[in-house]
Amino acid sequence: MSWWFSKLIQQLDRMMYVAAAMTLFFMLYLWSVLDSASANAGHVMVQIPAWPLFTLAGHEVYQLAGGGIAQVQEGALLYLFSVQEVQWLQGLSLVSECVLWSVVVIGLIVMKHRMARRYGVVMALLALQLLLPSVYGFGANQDVNIGRVLCQLTLLVLGSYWETRRYRMGNRQSATLIAYASQTGTAKRLAQQLSKSAQSLVDLRCVSELTAQQLQNYRKVFFVVSTHGNGEAPDTAYRLLKDIQQTPSTALDTHFSVLALGDRTYKTFCAFGYQLSDLLHEKGFQRLLPTQTVDRMDLSAVDTWWGQVCQLLGIAGQPVALEYNEFTVTENSCLNPQQSERLAYRIALYAPHAQYQVGDLLAVQPEIDGVAQEERLYSIASCADEHIELLVRRHIREDGSVGVGSGYLTDLAPNATLKASLREHTNFRLVGDVPLIMIGAGTGLAPFIGFLKQKYAWHSQTENWLLFGERYQEQDNYFAEDLDELKKQGILTRMDCAWSKSDGVYVPSLLQQQAQTLRHWVEQKGAHIYVCGSRVGFGESVLAVLEEILTTQQLHEQLHTDLY
């Protein structure tokens, strides 16, 4: 079943309602005109044919010798329809008939598709019962019974409603599901694109909304999942994962396949995807296709897997193309020009109608010599809709070459445009106006600038503590003016910096020194901790210290990480 035909089936009930509305209007208009003419009869004698064109509720309508159509009673002309009126009524009747015949044809064609067979037959029969000569029998000396027509219209509308409801609920519960587990929004966005290609046949849900029992209500389940951190499941997947683990192993009729997103530069490449696939198979779910890995959103790998899925579903699959919007560069300045290798840039962008929340990400699609490259994710360092700021490190590889994404962005001049897309980062958003402990290193400072500016916009009175690490105080003090202003406004309550080259101090050391204060903020003030920066070195060390200071429950409920 092709995508366009699936969409057409979804419109059958609307087509029925439109036809019913036009028929009802047509009938009521004729009835009101003829009944009013009888009550205000002005008798003009005319020569009439032997048989009426049709009779409606006892009112006889004839086609006169001159071609006109009129209501005549006992040789007296009661109402003469104008040419425009006749054409308009005939057109309305014709359109209504065409719509109903279209429903019949589509209903008969769809009979060959098992999942929609009953729906097609019932809708075709409902349309046919209205197409009987008793309704559209004009011109055949037909006596049209207005009461019978109203009953037929009622049957059509109610029958269409209930059968459509049954069909959609049946599809939802017994057919196919696309389930996504996303940490930064990439898996969610890809799943939405895949669902769009087959939305008449699939349901789309986040794994956080599902249980193991609900998975068994579907015949086929296709997972789109990312791997978070050091081979871990995304936060949204923990509850379902635990539920599946507690489910007894038994042979099930549900078939599945996993599309696992990841980055081959990590040792734990697509680890959660493999873990989920093995667990489902162990519990009795039937593996439909091998687990497909995707390295840094390689769409060719996605297309390979999706093509197989579409073949199994019997639909015409379309190549996956992620949508990007156009952003305009308004500022691009280097914040530490004294550096020779670790240059950091503040890049301001503008896009009308762009909306986001602090903590969200911007996915940028670089173009090199006109060829689109794999997208890169960047934290947003601002809070105002339509205006976006980034803090980007110009990455220099060991061989001296410049990183694709960072090189592309930092080379853009003001007024240049780029393709990008906003990504929801729900697990790194503010949970409300609560006290914050923000721990970042290098460009990991970016989201915290957005957090603090959002707090300023809220006129917040809660305390906020920033622990920031970089190399040189004189060169790498990013967003210094912004932070000074936020201190003056009382938004940034406390700031501790670790300058590894200037002072030999690192962020984990700061945390150990401030362990008692940090524990007090979490336990007594209800502060939430946000950690952003490189996972290797910084992130791993910070998490190790936090595990020493705080309880497992506190880490689970009040810790948010964005490590890359």
Q: 3-state SS of 266-323?
A: CCCCCHHHHHHHHHHHHCCCEECCCCEEEECCCHHHHHHHHHHHHHHHCCCCCCCCCC
How crowded is residue 525: how many other Cβ atoms within 10 Å of its Cβ? 14
Band of pLDDT at residue 3, cut at 50, 70 and 90: very low
Domain end call among 267, 289, 313: 313
Residues 450 and 551 both lie in one domain: yes
Q: Are 211 and 253 in contact (CB under 8 A)?
A: no
Encoding tokens for residue 286? 């039937």
Residues 382 and 456 both lie in one domain: no
* pLDDT score recorded for residue 181: 95
Residues 446 and 415 both lie in one domain: no
Question: Does 300 fall in a domain?
Answer: yes
How crowded is residue 515: how many other Cβ atoms within 10 Å of its Cβ? 15
Residues 195 and 330 both lie in one domain: no
Residues 401 and 547 both lie in one domain: no
Provide CB contacts within 8 A for 62, sequence distance 6+: 48, 49, 52, 53, 69, 70, 71, 72
Number of structural domains found in the chain = 4
Domain end call among 313, 333, 367: 313
Question: Does 320 fall in a domain?
Answer: no
- Asked whether the predicted pLDDT for residue 199 surpasses 90, the reply is no
Buried b / exposed e over 89-103, threshold 16 CB at 10 Å, is: beeebeebbebbebb
Domain end call among 170, 196, 213: 170
Question: Does 445 fall in a domain?
Answer: yes
Provide CB contacts within 8 A for 542, sequence distance 6+: 439, 507, 508, 511, 531, 533
Q: Token match 């579907």: residue?
A: 218
Greatest extent of the chain over all pairs of C-alpha atoms, in Å: 113
Mean pLDDT score across all residues of the chain = 87
The span from the CA of 401 to the CA of 406, in Å, is 11
Question: Does 318 fall in a domain?
Answer: no
Provide CB contacts within 8 A for 515, sequence distance 6+: 545, 548, 549
High-pLDDT (> 70) share of the chain, %: 91
- Tens of pLDDT, residue by residue over 53-80, are 777 777 888 777 666 787 777 767 777 7
* pLDDT score recorded for residue 200: 56
Band of pLDDT at residue 344, cut at 50, 70 and 90: very high
Encoding tokens for residue 183? 């940490």
| Range of the structural domain that residue 270 is part of | 175-313
* pLDDT score recorded for residue 96: 87
Residues 202 and 269 both lie in one domain: yes
Band of pLDDT at residue 1, cut at 50, 70 and 90: very low
How many CA atoms are closer than 13 Å to the CA of 325, on its beta-carbon side? 15
Question: Does 500 fall in a domain?
Answer: yes
Question: Does 319 fall in a domain?
Answer: no
Highest mean pLDDT (candidates 114-128, 252-266, 307-321): 252-266
**What integer is the mean pLDDT of 489-506?**
96
How many CA atoms are closer than 13 Å to the CA of 410, on its beta-carbon side? 21
CATH number at residue 298: 3.40.50.360
- Tens of pLDDT, residue by residue over 377-434, are 999 999 988 899 999 999 998 888 999 999 999 999 999 999 999 988 888 999 999 9
* Alpha-helical regions (H) of 175-266: 186-196, 212-215, 238-245
Band of pLDDT at residue 174, cut at 50, 70 and 90: very low
Band of pLDDT at residue 241, cut at 50, 70 and 90: very high
- Asked whether the predicted pLDDT for residue 229 surpasses 70, the reply is yes
**What integer is the mean pLDDT of 13-20?**
86
* pLDDT score recorded for residue 173: 47
CA-based torsion, 61, 66, 68, 73: positive or negative:
negative
Residues 162 and 278 both lie in one domain: no
Coil vs helix vs strand at 364: strand
Question: Does 517 fall in a domain?
Answer: yes
Query: Of how many residues is the chain composed?
Result: 564
- Asked whether the predicted pLDDT for residue 130 surpasses 90, the reply is no
CA distance readout (Å), 284 to 205, 221, 287? 22, 13, 9
**What integer is the mean pLDDT of 459-484?**
96
Residues 292 and 376 both lie in one domain: no
Residues 152 and 179 both lie in one domain: no
* pLDDT score recorded for residue 136: 60
Q: Are 275 and 242 in contact (CB under 8 A)?
A: no
Q: Are 300 and 287 in contact (CB under 8 A)?
A: no
According to the 3-state scheme, what is the secondary structure of 110-167?
A: HHHCHHHHHHHHHHHHHHHHHCCHHHHCCCCCEEECHHHHHHHHHHHHHHHHHHHHHH
> What is the DSSP code (8-state) at residue 228?
B
**What integer is the mean pLDDT of 125-140?**
71
CATH number at residue 372: 2.40.30.10
Residues 124 and 263 both lie in one domain: no
Coil vs helix vs strand at 351: coil
Residues 89 and 201 both lie in one domain: no
Residues 106 and 189 both lie in one domain: no
Question: Does 81 fall in a domain?
Answer: yes
Band of pLDDT at residue 2, cut at 50, 70 and 90: very low
> Which comes out higher in pLDDT, residue 371 or 154?
154
Band of pLDDT at residue 45, cut at 50, 70 and 90: low
| Cα 378 → chain centroid | 21
CA-based torsion, 241, 205, 558, 468: positive or negative:
positive
* pLDDT score recorded for residue 38: 63
CATH number at residue 540: 3.40.50.80
Its pTM stands at 0.63
Give long-range contacts, CB 8 A cutoff, 24+ apart: 487-494: 489/456, 491/452, 491/455, 491/456, 491/460, 491/464, 492/452, 492/464, 492/466, 493/463, 493/464, 493/465, 494/463, 494/464, 494/465, 494/466
- Tens of pLDDT, residue by residue over 503-515, are 999 999 999 999 9
User: Looking at 354-463, which runs of residues are DSSP E strands?
Assistant: 361-365, 367-368, 371-372, 376-379, 387-393, 417-423, 436-441
Coil vs helix vs strand at 369: coil
* pLDDT score recorded for residue 240: 93
Encoded amino acid at 463, one letter: E
Encoding tokens for residue 418? 């780029």
